[in-house]
């Protein structure tokens, strides 16, 4: 009885509440309906593919992350400036990837700005270039394999920050020196400080020439017609303290006339610093134009049609619109507080991240240029403090106008608390309509800094099934062991589910080099080669050959085994390195007369 009364009271209270708040319940229903439709927009069923590959710079992770858009699913991390044991990348001091990283600088780097190659103003799915801000390096990723294909150190640069491809040809990638120093003499006298913008051959990554600046160069974007490339400069003061760097009300956008720089090179109008031709603007009038803009500008973005370059004010609530041909500022619309980066759709709109306002603001470029006060189209809140923002295709001449990513610096209460430090956060925004709409958020490791995204259809036929066999590939049946004093080279193959040879021999302290080719001919059949107690693990993808050198340990048996779960016989895919006493003679036979089983035993019990 008591229960019944209680139930009746609860029911009537609920009824009163429902009556009182009928407005809010319809609002709740509306919100729920919206959530359902948002969820549908980003839902990609298991086994179905996303429309876009989003490539996010890993920042301090030293890598890039590949996410599927719109599902926001994490697909892959491509290590670049960092060792990565599970991918066999640069984690063994005797591997080729380790040597390449080690020979160009430290084993860690800071990736900021991923740049896709283009042909005729469209992403062509061939290359991705990215900078290492910390150590003056640039890397090239081959999108055929999603692997780092080259890394180069750029001389004379510190804080290699902004990077862009020179358009439309992509003949060069150029990278900006953000941190001033004395390039010539290593003096610590600030009056000798300069920085450079370095132009690299986009294929070989060789530094072809540099242009010297007083002050710094920060973010980069290329004009579309082969004439000017642009960089923001926030320290035109050439100051050495943060107060000094915000003294002036205006800093600059630097425009470099590339054909004129090439002519100066041909005419010998340069000095050599660390063997790189460096053009000093005072020797080549017109090679560098400084366009004054307010204040400590940050993002630098050329519009898809190549007409304008936009520089965000950062410390000014404005974006400066500069004619990319006459280099004149044509408008300076106010957009909100802390504007950083701008991206584009295919309908003439710009989308600017507002760090302080925690918003993305959508505004119409033509209206702003014409002084039409209705240029602001929409604003949307993001969570929280966006740095970069990027829409699909926005760095090409052919943006898609459907999706935009906001790369947020803070996630605050967005995810389960995991300690005082929280993950980085991205939000996916539907920009296909007049109003922007945040449809999904996803966390990631620190720190996606910038992103580019490319349609699946562009990469569909380009991503390799297997590696093209390298000249050094070992063919099945041609495995061998070659000994030369204390050096032994093992030429090994692997295929489901066996290494050949399944054993090789060494003396303690011998220098062993294993060359291992994966003979699989289908995608996804990666094998690994891990060697017990030697700190060795490499991943060998289908068709690939990897090389690793190490010192054989103390006398004994050391098994090597496959680290990628490749078949039902994955665990059985293993072999032995036999380290024998120094006075014992070693066998170099590929098929030594070994028994399949140890003699005189059938293991703990016989079931035969
Ligand atoms: S900078 S948050 Cu390295 Cu890309 Cu602007
Ligand atoms: Cu090969 Cu597991
Ligand atoms: Ca300044």
pLDDT, one tens digit per residue, over 528-585 is 999 999 999 999 999 999 999 999 999 999 999 999 999 999 999 999 999 999 999 9
Of all residues in the chain, the percent with pLDDT exceeding 70 is 94
C-alpha to C-alpha distance for 45 and 31, rounded to whole angstroms: 23
Q: Which ligand is nearest to the CA of 235?
A: 3
C-alpha to C-alpha distance for 363 and 379, rounded to whole angstroms: 9
For residue 566 and ligand 2, the question of a CB distance below 6 A is answered with yes
Q: How far is the CA of 484 from the centre of ligand 1 (A)?
A: 52
What is the number of the ligand 2 atom nearest to the C-alpha of 527?
Answer: 1
For residue 43 and ligand 2, the question of a CB distance below 6 A is answered with no
Per-residue pLDDT, 6: 43
Q: Which ligand is nearest to the CA of 110?
A: 1
What is the number of the ligand 2 atom nearest to the C-alpha of 566?
Answer: 2
C-alpha to C-alpha distance for 375 and 364, rounded to whole angstroms: 5
Which long-range contacts does 312-317 make (Cβ < 8 Å, 24+ apart)? 312/339, 312/340, 312/341, 312/342, 312/352, 313/339, 314/234, 314/338, 314/339, 314/340, 314/355, 315/246
- With cut-offs at 50, 70 and 90, classify the pLDDT of residue 32: confident
C-alpha to C-alpha distance for 589 and 501, rounded to whole angstroms: 9
For residue 481 and ligand 2, the question of a CB distance below 6 A is answered with no
Residue nearest to atom 2 of ligand 1 (CA): 387
SS3 string, 8-37, reads HHHHHHHHHHHHHCHHHHHHHHHHHHHHHH
- With cut-offs at 50, 70 and 90, classify the pLDDT of residue 16: very low
Mean pLDDT computed over 431-451: 94
Per-residue pLDDT, 224: 98
- Both ends of the chain: CA-CA distance in Å? 72
User: Per 3-state DSSP, what percentage of the chain is helix, strand, and coil (rounded to 5)?
Assistant: 15, 40, 45
- With cut-offs at 50, 70 and 90, classify the pLDDT of residue 30: confident
For residue 77 and ligand 1, the question of a CB distance below 6 A is answered with no
Q: How far is the CA of 145 from the centre of ligand 2 (A)?
A: 20
Res 24 pLDDT > 90: no
Res 29 pLDDT > 70: yes
Query: Which letter does DSSP use for residue 467 in this model?
Result: P
Instruction: Dump the DSSP string for 257-309.
Output: EHHHHHHHHHTT--EEETTEEEE-GGGSTTSEEEEEEESS---EEE-TTSSEE
Phi, psi values for residue 495, rounded to 5° = -160, 150
Per-residue pLDDT, 67: 98
What is the number of the ligand 1 atom nearest to the C-alpha of 113?
Answer: 4
Query: Which letter does DSSP use for residue 390 in this model?
Result: E
Count of CB atoms situated within 10 Å of the CB of 480: 14
What is the number of the ligand 2 atom nearest to the C-alpha of 526?
Answer: 1
Instruction: For the sheet with 339-344, list strands across it.
Output: 339-344, 349-354, 359-364, 376-381
Q: Which residues contact 371 (CB under 8 A, 6 or more apart)?
A: 331
For residue 112 and ligand 1, the question of a CB distance below 6 A is answered with yes
What is the number of the ligand 2 atom nearest to the C-alpha of 570?
Answer: 2
Res 9 pLDDT > 80: no
Per-residue pLDDT, 533: 98
Q: How far is the CA of 288 from the centre of ligand 3 (A)?
A: 18
Residue nearest to atom 1 of ligand 2 (CA): 527
Count of CB atoms situated within 10 Å of the CB of 504: 27
Phi-psi region of 312 (alpha: psi -120 to 50; beta: other; left: phi over 0): beta
Residue located via tokens 């710009």:
350
For residue 573 and ligand 2, the question of a CB distance below 6 A is answered with yes
Q: Average per-residue pLDDT in the chain? A: 93
C-alpha to C-alpha distance for 504 and 480, rounded to whole angstroms: 10
Tell me the per-residue pLDDT of 198-249, one tens digit each, with 9 for 90 and over: 999 999 999 999 999 999 999 999 999 999 999 999 999 999 999 999 999 9
- With cut-offs at 50, 70 and 90, classify the pLDDT of residue 25: confident
Q: Given ligand 1 and candidates 131, 234, 300, 341, which is best to mutate, with the most ligand atoms within 8 Å of its CB?
A: 341
Res 1 pLDDT > 50: no
For residue 70 and ligand 1, the question of a CB distance below 6 A is answered with no
User: What are the C-alpha distances in Å from 213 to residues 193, 251, 256, 281, 322?
Assistant: 9, 13, 11, 8, 20
Per-residue pLDDT, 604: 67
For residue 340 and ligand 1, the question of a CB distance below 6 A is answered with yes
Q: Which ligand is nearest to the CA of 338?
A: 1
Q: Which ligand is nearest to the CA of 249?
A: 3
Q: How far is the CA of 529 from the centre of ligand 2 (A)?
A: 9
Per-residue pLDDT, 28: 85
Phi, psi values for residue 266, rounded to 5° = -65, -35
Instruction: For the sheet with 228-233, list strands across it.
Output: 220-222, 228-233, 250-257, 288-294
C-alpha to C-alpha distance for 276 and 290, rounded to whole angstroms: 24
For residue 565 and ligand 2, the question of a CB distance below 6 A is answered with yes
Q: Which ligand is nearest to the CA of 527?
A: 2
C-alpha to C-alpha distance for 557 and 533, rounded to whole angstroms: 11
Q: How far is the CA of 207 from the centre of ligand 3 (A)?
A: 28
Residue nearest to atom 3 of ligand 1 (CA): 112
Res 137 pLDDT > 80: yes
Q: Given ligand 1 and candidates 175, 450, 452, which is best to mutate, with the most ligand atoms within 8 Å of its CB?
A: 450
Instruction: For the sheet with 403-408, list strands across it.
Output: 386-391, 403-408, 424-430, 437-444
Res 424 pLDDT > 80: yes
Per-residue pLDDT, 276: 98
Q: Where are the beta strands (DSSP E) in 12-121?
A: 52-57, 63-69, 73-79, 115-119
Tell me the per-residue pLDDT of 351-405, one tens digit each, with 9 for 90 and over: 999 999 999 999 999 999 999 999 999 999 999 999 999 999 999 999 999 999 9
- Radius of gyration over every alpha carbon of the chain, rounded to an integer in angstroms: 29
Q: How far is the CA of 244 from the centre of ligand 3 (A)?
A: 8
For residue 539 and ligand 2, the question of a CB distance below 6 A is answered with no
What is the number of the ligand 2 atom nearest to the C-alpha of 497?
Answer: 1
C-alpha to C-alpha distance for 427 and 429, rounded to whole angstroms: 6
For residue 526 and ligand 2, the question of a CB distance below 6 A is answered with no
What is the number of the ligand 1 atom nearest to the C-alpha of 355?
Answer: 2
For residue 314 and ligand 1, the question of a CB distance below 6 A is answered with no
What is the number of the ligand 2 atom nearest to the C-alpha of 528?
Answer: 1
Q: How far is the CA of 566 from the centre of ligand 2 (A)?
A: 4
């Amino acid at each position: 009885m008591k229960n019944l009364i209680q139930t009746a009271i609860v029911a009537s209270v609920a009824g009163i509440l429902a009556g009182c708040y009928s407005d809010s319940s319809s609002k709740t229903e509306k919100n729920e309906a919206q959530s359902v439709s948002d969820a549908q927009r980003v839902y990609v069923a298991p086994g179905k593919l996303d429309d876009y590959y989003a490539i996010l710079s890993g920042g301090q992770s030293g890598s890039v992350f590949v996410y599927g858009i719109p599902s926001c699913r994490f697909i892959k991390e491509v290590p670049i400036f960092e060792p990565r044991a599970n991918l066999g990348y640069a984690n063994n001091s005797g591997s080729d990837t380790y040597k390449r990283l080690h020979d160009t600088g430290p084993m860690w780097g800071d990736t900021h700005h991923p740049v896709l190659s283009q042909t005729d103003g469209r992403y062509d799915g061939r290359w991705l270039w990215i900078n290492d801000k910390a150590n003056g390096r640039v890397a090239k990723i081959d999108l055929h394999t999603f692997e780092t294909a080259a890394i180069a150190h750029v001389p004379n640069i510190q804080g290699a920050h902004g990077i862009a491809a020179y358009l439309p040809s992509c003949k060069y990638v150029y990278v900006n020196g953000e941190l001033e120093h004395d390039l010539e003499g290593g003096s610590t006298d600030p009056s000798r400080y300069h920085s450079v913008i370095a132009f690299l051959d986009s294929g070989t990554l060789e530094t072809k020439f540099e242009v010297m600046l007083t002050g710094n160069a920060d973010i980069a974007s290329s004009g579309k017609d082969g004439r000017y490339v642009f960089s923001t400069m926030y320290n035109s003061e050439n100051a050495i303290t943060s107060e000094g760097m915000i003294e002036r009300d205006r800093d600059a956008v630097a425009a470099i006339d590339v054909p004129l720089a090439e002519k100066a090179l041909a005419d010998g109008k340069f000095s050599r610093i660390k063997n790189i031709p460096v053009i000093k603007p005072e020797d080549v009038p017109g090679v560098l134009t400084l366009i004054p803009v307010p204040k400590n500008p940050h993002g630098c973005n050329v519009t898809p049609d190549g007409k304008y370059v936009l520089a965000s004010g950062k410390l000014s609530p404005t974006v400066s619109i500069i004619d990319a041909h006459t280099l004149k500022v044509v408008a300076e619309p106010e957009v909100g507080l802390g504007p950083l980066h701008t991206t584009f759709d295919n309908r003439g709109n710009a989308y600017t991240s507002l760090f302080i306002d925690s918003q993305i603001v959508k505004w119409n470029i033509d209206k702003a240029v014409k002084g039409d006060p209705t240029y602001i189209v929409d604003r949307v809140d993001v969570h929280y403090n966006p740095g970069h923002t990027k829409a699909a295709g926005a760095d090409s001449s052919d943006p898609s106008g459907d999706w935009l990513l906001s790369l947020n610096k803070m996630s605050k209460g967005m995810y389960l608390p995991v300690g005082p430090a929280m993950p980085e956060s991205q939000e996916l925004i539907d920009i296909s309509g007049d109003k922007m709409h945040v449809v999904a958020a996803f966390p990631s490791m620190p720190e996606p800094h910038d992103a580019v995204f490319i349609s699946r259809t562009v990469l569909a036929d380009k991503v390799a099934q297997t590696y093209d066999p390298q000249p050094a590939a070992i063919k099945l049946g041609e495995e061998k062991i070659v000994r030369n004093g204390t050096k032994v080279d093992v030429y090994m193959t692997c295929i489901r589910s066996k290494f050949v040879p399944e054993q090789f021999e060494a003396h303690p302290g011998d220098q062993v080099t294993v060359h291992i080719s994966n003979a699989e001919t289908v995608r996804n059949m990666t094998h690994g080669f891990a060697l017990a107690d030697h700190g060795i693990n490499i991943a060998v993808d289908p068709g690939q050959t990897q090389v690793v050198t190490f010192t054989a340990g103390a006398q004994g048996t050391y098994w090597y085994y496959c680290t990628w779960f490749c078949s039902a016989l994955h665990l059985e895919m293993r072999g032995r390195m036999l380290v024998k006493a120094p006075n014992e003679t070693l066998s170099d036979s590929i098929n030594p007369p070994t028994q399949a089983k140890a003699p005189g035993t059938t293991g703990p019990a016989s079931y035969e």
